[in-house]
Amino acid sequence: MDMSSRLLVLQQLAEGCGVSTVQQGLQQVWRLLLLCLTCRLCFRLGVVSTLKHGVSALSGIYCLFLFFELHMLWVLMLCALSYLVLLLSRHSSSRGLFLSVVILIYLLVGELHLIDMVTWHKIRGSQMVVAMKAISLAFDLDRGAVDRLPSPAEYLGYVLFVGTVVFGPWISFSTYTNAVEGTKLSWLWLRSSSLSLLKSQMCLLVSTCIAPYLFPLLIPIHGNTVTQKWLRAYENAVSFHFSNYFVGHLSEGTSMLAGAGFTAEKDNIRWDMSVVKPLSVEMPRSMVLVVTSWNIPMSRWLKTYAFKNAMKLGTFPAILVTYTTSALLHGLSFHLGAVLLSLGFITYVEHVLRKKLASIFRACVLSRPCPSDCGHQHKKEYWVMLLNLVFGLLAIFHLTYLGSMFDPGVDEQEVEEGYAAIHTVQRWSELNWASHWVVFACWLFYRLIQ
């Protein structure tokens, strides 16, 4: 395809796909943004805190109705069940573990027996956010981080906070209470939330109108049958990545617009909520950093309430518990479970291998960047940077493989109901299970040099 033909196709994409995508995106969220702004203004009023919590809860309920209509009742039932368990177990010191089991049973029974698959996938995100908030509150009560059981108004205002109830992210109870106190309106607040919302629309455009046409329309790379398979897999992965960035940046914007997501240092307030770091995923140093940059609040939640509690079992079992928890929160989806458990093995093998190599070569080749005062002898030599680059390219390879199943061209009904197990097996079989074989080879190499 010559340059003039390519430009013509790009113009058609911009006029057809680009304009309609932006219009649909704004049409979906403008009422949510208005509710977030209303809630923020209400928090600034000098009224009793109970009224503020009530406005937060009612705004969240109305927002759920806008997106899910009467299906929102399943989310509200989870809210009520969680508070009832907290109330009945208020004298226990194991509220976190007990509530986690109850919520897990509720989610599994609801998905398997009570709710049809299409409906479940629509409300799954909100169910997950509410579950994470309730579980974190229970563990914080056990640890004394929250000194008392919140009142019903405080609890509902927290779990149904309009800035996070649909798109997330998870926020702690203390973050919510700081938002309710109502920091002053500022240009920085408006600019930060608006910038995140703008980023979300840009990511939506990339996911819908650019990523599916990367090769050979935008990047003229051709190849044999094997190369074409991997190029299509990379397109699918990038499209899926940017759809996640869209949700992440949108949740940043809605949270900050509603008054959450700031850090206060004396009189200096910074609106710096960060949910996703796209550059750390698309140009990664390691798979470990990819996982933490994919959804920063959820990564923090899993580390605090799953990984640390499971560390008594050992490092590798704790990693499996963490990724299993994440998979169960996402629902009984074979493709998500397969990806998350594969990530668990990949990140563990990468971590132990790079830790061993860093010890052998006394070099800064760990999964995470070393601090400036680390004890390694070799820090910025060319071979050190080359080795880190190799691991970065290996991470891109794993991401391409894992993301290959999220095909934007499959039947919409299949997406709504969740990809079937055969879809996952077929996609990875087409790529000869390459990533799993590479991880196995890396593990064997680690065992040989141990």
Run means of pLDDT, 10 residues per run, the chain, 450 residues: 70 79 89 95 90 95 95 95 94 92 92 82 92 96 93 96 95 95 90 96 92 79 84 92 96 96 85 94 95 95 93 88 88 82 93 95 93 87 95 96 78 52 84 95 94
User: Residue 177: CB partners within 8 Å, gap ≥ 6?
Assistant: 154
* Dihedral sign from CA coordinates of 11, 13, 16, 22: negative
Contact 136, 99 (CB under 8 A): no
Asked if residue 369 has a cis previous peptide bond (ω within 30° of 0), the answer is no
Contact 294, 412 (CB under 8 A): no
- Detail the DSSP E strand segments found in 128-168: none
Q: Which of 121, 330, 376, 436 is catalytic?
A: 330
Report helix angle 382-403 to 225-257, nearest 10: 90
Strand partners, 263: 270
Q: What is the pLDDT of residue 420?
A: 63
Measured in residues, the chain has a length of 450
Q: What is the pLDDT of residue 346?
A: 95
Catalytic status, residue 335: no
Task: Give me 118's structure tokens.
Answer: 């299409």
Q: How many helices (H) and strands (E) does the chain have?
A: 20, 2
Report helix angle 117-143 to 95-109, nearest 10: 180
Q: What is the pLDDT of residue 306?
A: 93
Tell me the C-alpha distance between 282 and 241, whole Å: 9
Residue 265's SS3 state is strand
Q: What is the pLDDT of residue 410?
A: 55
The CA-atom distances, in angstroms, between 334 and each of 287, 290, 342, 421 are: 21, 21, 12, 6
Q: What is the pLDDT of residue 316?
A: 84
Contact 155, 83 (CB under 8 A): yes
